[in-house]
Amino acid sequence: EYKFRSQTATPRLIKAELSTQPEDKPASPPVPASNQAIFGKLTGESLRNEKLVNQPFHKEIALAASAASLDPALVHAVIFVESRYRHSAISPRGAIGLMQVLPETAARYGIADPGSSRKANLKAGTLYLRDLMRMFDNRIDLALAAYNAGEGAVLKYSMRVPPYPETRLYVGAVMAKYNEWRNDGT
């Protein structure tokens, strides 16, 4: 069942209160994902993050993240908070799939139906996240706030995370998961 996050929810709550067990697992064998930098390519050294290899759809996510020059750990964190890896998730506002992409956002990238496949959803979501990173000078917090509340909200609040409780919880939850999953040598 799909539920809204309450304004008093803890950062551990997500947009979709769904099972953590995905309905479908990727059919391909495990392929490690890159996680060296927010904007980075897959490299031999960056292909060792077992935390990501054990996540659903890791190969598809790694490919989409690499194509958009994003850290797969960040993409995984967004997906975890947005849908808990449920490719069939649909929000009350009409956001669809793993990355909870709105159809009008997907249309910006030439994708008519972001729910038609995981690949289409990942492409739309990662390209949008990449553009938000560029728009907000690679500030992850602002890009995530814009992903949740829209770029207009971040601009309205003078390049700061908007004071919306849901957005603040969302940014905190994604950042916590991202910090857990990225391999920064610590």
Our answer to whether residue 82 is catalytic in this structure is yes
C-alpha distances (whole Å) from 11 to each of 38, 41, 162, 174, 177 are 22, 30, 16, 9, 10
Annotate 128-183 with DSSP letters as a single string: HHHHHHHHTTT-HHHHHHHHHH-HHHHHHTTSS--S-HHHHHHHHHHHHHHHHH--
Which residue is catalytic, options 17, 50, 60, 82? Answer: 82
Q: Which residues are part of the catalytic machinery?
A: 82
